[in-house]
């Protein structure tokens, strides 16, 4: 199991630009573990306006398209092999995967060398947010620039072929999304894995199932 070197370099560049606690987490790490090609790469960072982490020159203090162009090194006009699809766009909170979740302050879509990234700023340290807010245990793995880390929730789901809904802060709407949208998307790659709620989510899960079935 090995993360693509270009993806590793991208994370380290982001950390060098001031986001010291940035991690790659979720589907990209899960799919890498199972030797599947990730659909995209989600990078989670601590919002600089809340964390005290300093964005480096020349765009100190603000995450914007100019800063991300520099951070991802997309401004390569002198390089004739630059991917024509390279771009940075602000994601709409109404359609992105994370925009409606508590603690997400912004989501940016970045295309680099034909690899789609999401750059997600959070109001909490990324590792804490992954552990508290990720819906399925099988998504709770991350790479911190040094090592891939597998949580106990990930290992449990992997060993039992389950998609356990473990999120500690889920709302009813987020539970519906987990059941109706996120789980089917994961099951296209892992059809043997069944969806079950963690004990603390059983009541919310039952209510959400009623809404999904209508």
Which pLDDT band, with edges at 50, 70 and 90, does 51 fall under?
Answer: confident
Least Cα distance to 41 among 113, 95, 100, 103 occurs for 113
CA distances to 41, 180, 209 from 38, rounded to whole Å, are 7, 21, 29
The full set of domain ranges for the chain reads 5-151
pLDDT of 72 strictly over 60 = yes
- Cβ within 8 Å of residue 154, ≥6 positions away: 30, 137, 138, 139, 140, 141
pLDDT in tens, 89-123: 888 654 555 555 678 888 999 998 888 999 999 99
Could you tell me which CATH number the domain at 5-151 has? 3.30.460.10
- Cβ within 8 Å of residue 195, ≥6 positions away: 162, 163, 165, 179, 183, 187
* 169 vs 1, higher pLDDT: 169
> What b-and-e string marks burial along 61-82, b requiring 16 or more CB atoms within 10 Å of the CB?
eebeeebbbbbbebeeeeeeee
Which pLDDT band, with edges at 50, 70 and 90, does 76 fall under?
Answer: low
pLDDT of 80 strictly over 60 = no
Least Cα distance to 183 among 168, 152, 162, 156 occurs for 162
* 111 vs 60, higher pLDDT: 111
pLDDT in tens, 143-194: 999 999 999 999 999 999 999 999 988 889 899 999 999 999 999 999 999 9
138, two tokens: 């099988």
pLDDT of 58 strictly over 70 = no
pLDDT of residue 65: 87
Output the pTM of the full model.
Answer: 0.89
């Amino acid at each position: 199991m090995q993360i693509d070197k270009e993806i590793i370099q991208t994370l380290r560049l982001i950390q060098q630009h001031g986001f010291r606690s940035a991690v790659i987490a979720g589907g990209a790490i899960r799919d890498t573990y199972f030797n599947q090609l990730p659909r995209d790469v989600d990078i989670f960072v601590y919002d600089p306006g809340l964390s005290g982490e300093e964005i480096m020159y020349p765009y100190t203090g603000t995450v914007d398209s100019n800063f991300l162009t520099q951070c991802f090194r997309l401004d390569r006009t002198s390089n004739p092999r630059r991917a024509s699809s390279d771009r940075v766009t602000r994601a709409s909170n109404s359609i992105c995967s994370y925009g409606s979740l508590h603690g997400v302050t912004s989501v940016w879509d970045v295309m680099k060398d034909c690899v789609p990234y999401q750059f997600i700023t959070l109001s909490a340290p990324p590792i804490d947010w992954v552990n508290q807010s990720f819906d399925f245990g099988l998504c709770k793995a991350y790479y911190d620039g040094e090592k891939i880390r597998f949580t106990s929730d990930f290992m449990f789901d992997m060993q039992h072929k389950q998609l356990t809904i473990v999120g500690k802060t889920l709302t009813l709407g987020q539970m519906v999304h987990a059941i109706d949208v996120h789980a089917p998307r994961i099951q296209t790659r892992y059809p043997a894995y069944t969806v079950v709620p963690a004990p603390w989510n059983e009541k919310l899960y039952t209510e959400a199932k009623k809404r999904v079935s209508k």
